[in-house]
Amino acid sequence: MWIQHAIGLDPRPRGVHLVTREVLSAVPELGDMRVGMMNVFLRHTSASLALNENASPDVRVDLEGWLNDAVPEGAPYWTHVHEGPDDMPAHVKSIIVGPSLMIPVAGGRAALGTWQGIYLLEHRDHGGSRQIVVTAWGEGE
């Protein structure tokens, strides 16, 4: 069994956003999969995906703060600056965090840990809408 969906996410402000429900609700066929794998891929170079704490919003705030300190805007070594001061740092952050996740599927559900959620990390001040492609494969019920 193979499943693939393109999912459009509404624009979000710069920051770390929990999108687990949006992503998983767009793939109802997972309910028919007994065992498998799911790849969640973001089609952008200035945002990224991560899997982390889904309960405390403080984790998302702290992660955004750390990334901003680690990859500062206005650094004198940036040469790709024609799209604004947040653009090149956004590209670097997306490389650090990455564009995709691999998540096991078990018993018709994403086999996430109790406190795990899917994050969209928006690294631009005004990144716009984002596209995710979810591809899942495995054995049906």
pLDDT at 29: 96
Q: How many CB atoms lie within 10 A of CB 118?
A: 23
> pTM of the entire structure?
0.95
Nearest residue to 4 via CA among 43, 45, 41:
41
Give, for all 141 residues of the chain, the pLDDT tens digit: 999 999 999 999 999 999 999 999 999 999 999 999 999 999 999 999 999 999 999 999 999 999 999 999 999 999 999 999 999 999 999 999 999 999 999 999 999 999 999 999 999 999 999 999 999 999 997
Q: Please, which residues have CB within 8 angstroms of residue 15's CB and are 6 or more apart in sequence?
A: 60, 61, 64, 121, 122
User: How confident is the model at residue 141, as a pLDDT?
Assistant: 79
Find residue 121's DSSP bridge partners: 16, 48
For residues 123 and 130, what is the distance between their CA atoms, to the nearest angstrom?
Answer: 12
Q: Where are the domains of the chain?
A: 2-136
3-state secondary structure of 139: strand
CATH number for 2-136 (one of 1.10.3720.10, 3.40.640.10, 2.60.120.10, 2.60.120.460): it is 2.60.120.460
The residue assigned the tokens 């490389």 is 95
